[in-house]
Structure formats: structure tokens, C-alpha cells
């Protein structure tokens, strides 16, 4: 029987509360997963654009900025005719741009070569009439291709350039802390929040380092527990807001969860609604992604399976019975803690589950691993994998 460790998303809570953010944050309908497994409207499914959309010309004496050059909170001078604020939190790959405190953009990025590409998954949380906010929204339109480069110039000044434009200064900013809520994202790492969302429903949030897995669960008692849906992605706390940006999900989910966590971990506030939570320690054995890279095989279900887990985080899994192709799935993968996530971008017949999650156990790099996963398809992705042998 397939088994989960912990799983999934904001869908049940979102449906209960009507939004997944503060009271002003609407659903971004263009960023909700489509029902078909082979296609998704989410902007996070777009291929990340290269930094070529930003001028490659760095001024003489300057260098590309690194994460070490960035502060937790910064001011971008004269962006869209006013100062915009940039938050980096604990620098785990989630960036947010703010016009305090009415609007913001959230975008995952590896900050390679000092570049943030808005077209690689940026979304905006709010839409209201304001010239600067309208300009910010243009950065995240469906077919937009905007990037921002950060440099440190010859005078050791951090600067930014939007779409190859003039370089402007970036300065440190301060944000007043609210002692009643958690302000450091790493304070959630290796913790689980069980948040009750209804008479028989709750959401389980598992937090790893800069990543989360959330599971919507229905529990009718007497061990009658079932997973309704799940999601996983980037998280951090910026300017007192817990931001959760799903990248993997099993069902329609809001593009951005904006919440706050009380300093005693007993309350999660979403859409001005308080949800009661209990805290526990999240125990797991970290699985290095590099240990799963390579070619694997399995013979479960009387089929010949092959799995190619590539270093660029793409994968292909195939199953044959004789010469007949019984299964083919392609997509992207990642590991959060001990959870292996797979998101489908294509599959045999064009219809399959949109994403798969499960715990990795008993693994040895280059030799074997066990993957207790959620795949509901027939045939489903095997649990036991071994490295192929060659003569």
C-alpha cells in the first residue's frame, strides 16, 4: 500500500475562508492548476527565462551582486516613480517587492548572477488602482518577460537595473517588528503546525529550511483519516508576513498564501481569520538531492520501469511490458527534507496525476532508495528503486 509521511496545501482552508492571503488579497485565477495533469496555468510551471533579458553589460569596476550583498529589508530608489521595498527574509530563494502595506509581488529565484527573473514564477497579491501598483503588476503579467539585475559598483554601492535600464541605488531599510507574531522564517524550520479548519478537517504544515509541505486532511475519527489535497513550495517571513508560494500541488491551490503566525505558535491568521494550531517537532532524515540523481530501475507490478533523475531537476519515468509502453511521465522534481516531489509536465495519453509526493527512506547514493509515494495512477510509480548494473 502506498504511504505518506506528511503532505499538502491551502485549498481546504482557502475554500473555508474565501481567500488565501490578507483580507485584500484575491485569488489569482491565472495561477491555479488546471484539471489536466499535462498542463498547468500556473506561472510557476513556465520555464525560467535566462538572464539575457537584462543587459549583460556590467559597468566597469562593478561585479554581480551575491546573496551576501543583500540585506533582509532594502529600499529600491525611484522604481516606477517612487521607492519600492525589497525583502529577502532568510535568503532561501523567495523575494518580495512591497509598496507598504497595500501591495506586493512574490517571486522564487536562485539569484544566479545577481538576477531575479519575474517571468519564472512571480505573482502579485493584490490589484488596486494606483500607478505604481499597475506598473508592478505589469512585471507579472502572463506573457511578460522582465528581469532585474543587482550589482555592486566600483564605489561598493549596491544597485539595481530593471530590464537593462539605468542603475539605481539600493539602500538598507528597517521594518518595525511586531512582537505578537513570528518575524524570522527559520524559527519555523523543523516544526509542524496542525491547524484546525473545520469539524473534521485540519491542515498540517511541515516546515523545512525555506520549504514547506502542507496537507489538507479529513479525520472522521476511528483511524478514518484521508488526505484531501496537498501542496509544497517556498516559504519565508517577510515584513512580519508568512508567505507560502506553492510550486507542487495535487489540486487547485491559491498562488500565494499570506498569513501570520503568533509568537506562541498557537494561531495562524489568514484573511483576518484566526485558526487554532498546535505545534510539534518535525523529525526527519535529510535526503541530499544529489543522492537521487542518476538512472534507476524497478520491476514492480510485473513491468520494467526506468527512472532518470537529472541534475537539472527534470525527470522521466517509463514502464514497459515487453515492447509495449505502459507508462510515461515527464516533469520536474525536488527534495524538501525527506520528501521527494514530482510535478508532471507531460505524460502518456496526456492525462495523469498533476503531482506526486512521498517520503524517501533506506537510500544509498548510486545504489538504491525506497519511495513511499502518492501516485494514484495505474500503473503507479514504484516504491523500490535500484541502480542498474552494467557489464
Lowest mean pLDDT across 131-140, 234-243, 345-354:
131-140
CA within 13 Å, CB half, 188: 35
The DSSP secondary structure of 97-126, one letter per residue, reads EEETTTEEEEEE---GGGEEEGGGT-EES-
Cell numbers 500607478 correspond to what residue?
Answer: 131
CATH number of the domain within which 235 lies: 2.40.128
Is the pTM higher than 0.75?
A: yes
Q: Looking at residue 331, which CATH number applies to its domain?
A: 2.40.128.370
| Residue 303 and residue 259 share a domain | no
What is residue 365's DSSP assignment? Answer: T
Mean pLDDT of 188-202: 94
* Residue ending a domain, choose from 143, 172, 201: 172
Contacts of 115 (CB under 8 A, 6+ apart): 51, 54, 64, 109, 147, 148, 149, 150
Half-sphere exposure of residue 133, counting CA atoms within 13 Å on the CB side? Answer: 13
Let me know whether 33 and 64 are in one domain. no
Average pLDDT rounded to a whole number, residues 328-357: 96
| Total domains, the chain | 3
For residues 9-22, give the mean pLDDT: 32
Radius of gyration of the chain (CA): 22
pLDDT digits (tens, 9 = 90+) for 88-125: 999 999 999 998 767 788 999 999 999 999 876 777 66
- State the Cα–Cα distance between residues 27 and 32, nearest whole angstrom: 9
User: In terms of domains, do 364 and 300 share one?
Assistant: yes
The string of DSSP letters for 227-270 reads EEEEEEEEEEEETTEEEEEEEEESS---S-EEEEEBTTS-EEEE
- On whether both 300 and 273 belong to a single domain, the answer is no
**Do residue 164 and residue 91 come from a single domain?**
yes
Does 155 lie in the same domain as 78? yes
How does pLDDT run across 24-70, given as a tens digit for each residue?
Answer: 333 333 333 322 333 333 333 333 334 444 446 789 999 999 999 99
Residue 54 lies in a domain: no
Note down the domain range covering 274.
11-39+179-281
Mark whether 221 and 255 lie in a shared domain.
Answer: yes
Beta strands 273-281 and 267-270, pairing class: antiparallel
Note whether residue 4 is domain-resident. Answer: no
Residues in the chain: 391
Mean pLDDT for 128-153 is: 78
66 lies in the same domain as 152: yes
Q: Cβ of 162: how many Cβ atoms within 10 Å?
A: 20
Scan for cell 492548476, then name that residue.
33
Q: Is 3 a domain residue?
A: no
- Examine the domain organization and report whether 69 and 168 are in the same domain: yes
329 closest CA partner among 378, 388, 389: 378
Residue 55 lies in a domain: no
Query: In this predicted structure, what is the pLDDT of residue 126?
Result: 57
Decide if 6 is inside a domain: no
Task: Decide which of 281, 307, 337 is a domain's last residue.
Answer: 281
Pair (222, 294) in one structural domain:
no
The reply to whether 95 and 152 lie within a common domain is yes
Whether 44 is covered by a domain: the verdict is no
Distance CA 119, CA 271 (A): 27
Q: Is residue 52 part of a domain?
A: no
- Among the candidates 255, 281, 307, a domain finishes at 281
Q: Using pLDDT thresholds of 50, 70 and 90, give the confidence band for residue 343.
A: very high
pLDDT for residue 29: 30
Residues 302 and 208 in one domain: no
Whether 327 is in a domain gets the answer: yes
Amino acid at each position: 500500500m502506498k504511504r505518506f509521511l506528511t503532505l499538502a496545501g491551502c485549498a481546504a482552508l482557502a475554500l473555508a475562508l474565501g481567500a488565501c492571503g490578507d483580507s485584500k488579497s484575491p485569488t489569482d485565477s491565472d495561477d491555479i492548476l488546471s484539471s489536466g495533469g499535462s498542463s498547468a496555468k500556473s506561472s510557476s510551471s513556465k520555464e525560467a527565462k535566462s538572464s539575457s533579458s537584462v543587459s549583460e553589460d556590467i559597468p566597469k569596476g562593478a561585479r554581480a551582486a551575491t546573496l551576501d550583498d543583500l540585506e533582509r529589508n532594502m529600499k529600491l530608489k525611484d522604481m516606477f516613480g517612487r521607492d519600492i521595498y525589497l525583502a529577502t527574509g532568510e535568503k532561501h530563494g523567495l523575494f518580495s517587492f512591497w509598496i507598504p502595506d497595500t501591495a506586493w509581488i512574490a517571486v522564487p529565484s536562485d539569484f544566479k548572477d545577481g538576477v531575479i527573473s519575474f517571468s519564472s514564477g512571480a505573482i502579485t497579491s493584490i490589484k488596486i488602482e494606483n500607478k505604481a501598483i499597475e506598473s508592478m503588476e505589469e512585471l507579472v503579467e502572463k506573457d511578460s518577460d522582465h528581469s532585474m539585475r543587482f550589482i555592486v559598483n566600483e564605489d561598493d554601492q549596491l544597485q539595481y537595473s530593471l530590464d537593462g535600464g539605468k542603475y539605481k541605488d539600493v539602500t538598507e531599510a528597517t521594518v518595525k517588528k511586531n512582537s505578537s507574531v513570528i518575524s524570522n522564517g527559520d524559527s519555523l524550520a523543523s516544526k509542524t503546525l496542525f491547524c484546525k479548519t473545520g469539524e473534521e478537517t485540519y491542515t498540517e504544515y511541515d516546515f523545512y529550511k525555506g520549504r514547506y509541505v502542507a496537507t489538507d486532511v479529513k479525520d472522521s475519527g476511528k483511524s478514518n483519516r484521508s488526505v484531501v489535497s496537498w501542496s509544497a513550495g517556498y516559504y519565508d517571513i517577510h515584513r512580519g508576513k508568512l508567505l507560502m508560494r506553492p510550486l507542487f500541488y495535487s489540486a487547485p491551490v491559491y498562488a500565494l498564501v499570506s498569513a501570520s503566525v503568533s509568537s506562541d505558535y498557537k494561531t495562524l491568521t489568514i484573511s483576518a481569520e484566526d485558526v487554532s494550531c498546535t505545534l510539534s517537532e518535525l523529525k526527519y532524515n535529510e535526503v541530499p538531492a544529489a543522492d537521487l540523481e542518476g538512472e534507476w530501475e524497478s520491476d514492480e507490478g510485473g513491468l520494467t520501469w526506468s527512472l532518470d533523475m537529472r541534475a537539472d531537476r527534470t525527470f522521466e519515468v517509463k514502464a514497459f511490458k515487453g515492447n509495449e509502453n505502459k507508462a510515461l511521465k515527464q516533469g520536474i522534481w525536488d527534495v524538501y527534507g525527506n520528501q521527494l516531489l514530482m510535478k508532471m509536465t507531460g505524460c502518456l495519453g496526456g492525462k495523469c496525476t498533476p503531482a506526486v509526493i512521498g517520503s524517501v527512506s533506506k537510500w544509498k547514493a548510486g545504489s538504491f532508495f525506497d519511495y513511499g509515494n502518492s501516485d494514484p495512477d495505474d500503473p503507479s510509480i514504484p516504491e523500490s528503486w535500484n541502480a542498474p548494473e552494467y557489464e
